[in-house]
Amino acid sequence: MSRIIFIVFCFSLAVHPVSADSYSGNKILEILGEDRNGEAVREFKTQFILDKSLRNPALGIKLTAGHDSGSVITAVTLTAAGCDINDIKYKQFAGALPFDISFNDDANAIQQKFKDARGPEDDIRLKFKKDGITVNIYFKTAGKKKIMYIKFTQNIGSVGPYRIDGGHDVPVASLAPLTPEPAKNEAKPNAKTENKTVASLPTAATFSNKSPAATARASEDPFYNSIMNVIESGEEEMFKDIKKAPTPKANFWNYKYTYSTSVSIPGEKYNMLYSFPFQSSQLDFVSVLAETDGASPVIQAKYAEVESKLKADFKPSEGWTYSYTVNPEDPNGPKDLELRNPKLGSIVLDYSINPYGKHVLYLRFLLQYT
């Protein structure tokens, strides 16, 4: 008899989560920015009975966290019935949705609720920014009549746990220095041999959630603005905002599946999105700054120019740390520079030489992918 009671109790938890009022409506968004190993996330996981992958398809909810063990929650996805994400079927989230959204809303109803907050869209998606949150709403068809799922992310550049009442604007505590580590499942241009050594790593300074200097640069500095556009597009929607048509592009890595973009980074030769090794593989972005057929002062000059610009725009006072690693392909050449931010991921100024003696200097990004 006790076994039957236990089974019934477990079933009731699956249908009615613990502390159902703890995270509901706009309060759901307050899990954003929380340490994935912290108490708030543990409570959230208990309420929604999330698995090790931070999801519960039966309850229509999924969290996204960064790629390393010390990362924070970067997105909340809530699904309608029959939604398929990465070949996993989700049921409809039964609780109250943030911003008074309903799964019964069509595109017109959604646009009325968000009004002037409307952003870029495509055939099946509407995008909005409201109260420090980016909202991507995906529909089942191009008619935009039935919602498939909604993804909520804290606006790029925000730091610390999100608070719907605006409390997330207060400065956060100083960050400990970050030790660079290789990202998991990197595509080819991100891959380097393992015997690189860290040359230097400044300590990060205290920084606030919204930097007036960063906000000003976003409108005044094309270099900073274009890089932040890449980071935002990559983290929020896997580059869908900037992806254009398939465009064959001869490149250092001989990638076959390449795409043009709507982004132009000042000083680059070209940029592209690519899928490797298959057309269905995850998209990544690379900006090629210089290419030569052998050792050349052109590489050194471009490296010095971009290194200076990166350090001027992405400051330790705003949460960025710098580290250098020696390139084993050319120990006397430019060291790879990684600029890392615990909320945004990394920007890498990378120098490589292929077996045929071709040299390349490029920017790549290690982002908090979904």
Computed over every residue of the chain, the mean pLDDT equals 80
Per-residue model confidence as pLDDT tens digits over 149-208: 999 988 776 667 888 877 554 433 333 333 333 443 444 454 444 334 343 333 333 223
SS3 labels along 186-202: CCHHHCCCCCCCECCCC
Task: Show the CA angle centred on residue 348, arms to residues 342 and 350, nearest 5°.
Answer: 160
Q: Peptide bond before 297: cis, by omega within 30 degrees of 0?
A: no
Contact predicate 33/72, CB 8 Å: yes
Q: By three-state DSSP, how is residue 243 classified?
A: strand
Shared-domain flag, residues 84 and 150: yes
Where among 118, 135, 169 does a domain terminate? 169
Q: What percent of the chain is modeled with pLDDT above 90?
A: 46
Phi-psi region of 150 (alpha: psi -120 to 50; beta: other; left: phi over 0): beta
Of 240, 238, 214, 212, nearest in space to 228 by CA: 214
**Residue 154 phi, psi dihedral angles, 5° rounding:** -70, 135
Shared-domain flag, residues 112 and 163: yes
Asked whether residue 236 is domain-assigned, the answer is yes
Tell me the whole-structure pTM to 2 decimals: 0.60
Shared-domain flag, residues 222 and 301: yes
CA–CA gap between residue 131 and residue 163 (Å, rounded): 10
Q: Which one has a higher pLDDT value, 83 or 118?
A: 83
Asked whether residue 52 is domain-assigned, the answer is yes
Shared-domain flag, residues 234 and 123: no
CA–CA gap between residue 63 and residue 263 (Å, rounded): 28
Per-residue model confidence as pLDDT tens digits over 101-127: 999 999 999 999 988 666 656 678 888
Asked whether residue 135 is domain-assigned, the answer is yes
Per-residue pLDDT band at 67 (split at 50, 70, 90):
low
Shared-domain flag, residues 249 and 319: yes
Shared-domain flag, residues 310 and 267: yes
The confidence score (pLDDT) of residue 196 equals 40
Asked whether residue 174 is domain-assigned, the answer is no
Where among 169, 199, 224 does a domain terminate? 169
Shared-domain flag, residues 20 and 161: yes
Q: By three-state DSSP, how is residue 364 classified?
A: strand
Q: Which one has a higher pLDDT value, 156 or 345?
A: 345
Q: Count structural domains, the chain.
A: 2
Shared-domain flag, residues 130 and 6: yes
CA distances from 120 to 97, 123, 244 (A): 22, 11, 14
Asked whether residue 181 is domain-assigned, the answer is no
Asked whether residue 89 is domain-assigned, the answer is yes
Shared-domain flag, residues 149 and 270: no
Shared-domain flag, residues 205 and 165: no
The confidence score (pLDDT) of residue 306 equals 97
Q: Which one has a higher pLDDT value, 86 or 58?
A: 58
Shared-domain flag, residues 123 and 264: no
The confidence score (pLDDT) of residue 168 equals 54
Per-residue pLDDT band at 65 (split at 50, 70, 90):
confident
Asked whether residue 180 is domain-assigned, the answer is no
How many residues are present in the chain? Answer: 370
Per-residue pLDDT band at 367 (split at 50, 70, 90):
confident
Shared-domain flag, residues 131 and 216: no
Asked whether residue 175 is domain-assigned, the answer is no
Per-residue model confidence as pLDDT tens digits over 192-238: 443 343 433 333 332 233 444 555 554 468 999 899 889 888 876 67
Q: Which domain holds residue 343?
A: 188-367
